[in-house]
Amino acid sequence: MPSGFQQDINQLNPGLFRVVWVANTGTYPTADGNDNGGITPNSGDSFATLPTTLVKAKARARGNIRFRNVINRLTGLADCQILDIETGIAAGGAETVGDDVATSLAFTVKYDRTAGIIDAQKALNVQETGLATNVATVAITTLALAIEDAVVRGFRDSTTSSTRIVSSVPNNNQLSITVTAPDTAADILADITVVQIDGTELVTLDSAADAE
């Protein structure tokens, strides 16, 4: 007897994508300013050793805001989960203290449904720039290209947020923090790769090298 099972466009069609950023082409300023801070998921109070100065605390907050901006871009395409986040620093290993500056970031994006992601990213680009192409004016023809473009644009989004700034001296300030693009879209695009994968680890203990 037939099972009655039938393929349908509304069925779940999960997609897993590994996003990796490694500071290489981009300049990512470290001097105090709205363009510093890179990108990181870890806020100032993520560490037992807090940022030691207000300037370093503000830089970390900017990196944290940029990560949030990226996630906002990704979740705007479709419902997703962010899995297996890793960061790395220039000296090797992961961020361990508040003063660390991430020079690499990797995470997995899991979409339960991938249908419509390409069209959604293209439509957003038309709304914002008048062009459906990515930041390098290249046609978006794959899911990986759509997600990559969303990450680059989120990385460069200019936003202002009222944010809790945590540092050892002073501590627990609520400040208005602005982030601006740290470098050109072309440079950041060169530092980001997105690859569709078949599976993902949910927990990682890899702290011996760059995020990957």
Instruction: Give pLDDT tens digits for 97-152.
Output: 999 999 999 999 999 999 999 999 999 999 999 999 999 999 999 999 999 999 99
Q: Which residues of 25-54 are buried (b: 16+ CB within 10 A; e: fewer)?
A: ebebeeeeebbbbbbbbbbbbbbeebbeeb
Average model confidence (pLDDT) across the chain? 90
Please tell me the pTM assigned to this model: 0.89
Q: Which residue has the tokens 């890179």?
A: 38
113 by DSSP, 3-state: which? strand
Cross-strand bridge partners of residue 177: 161
* Partner residues linked to 196 by β-bridges: 17
* Domain segments of the chain as ranges: 15-197
**212 residues of the chain, pLDDT tens digit each:** 455 555 555 566 689 999 999 999 988 999 999 999 999 999 999 999 999 999 999 999 999 999 999 999 999 999 999 999 999 999 999 999 999 999 999 999 999 999 999 999 999 999 999 999 999 999 999 999 999 999 999 999 999 999 999 999 877 789 999 999 999 999 999 999 999 996 444 444 454 456 66
Helix axes 143-156, 117-129, angle to 10 degrees: 40
User: What is the side-by-side order of every strand in the sheet holding 80-89?
Assistant: 80-89, 102-111, 15-22, 192-197
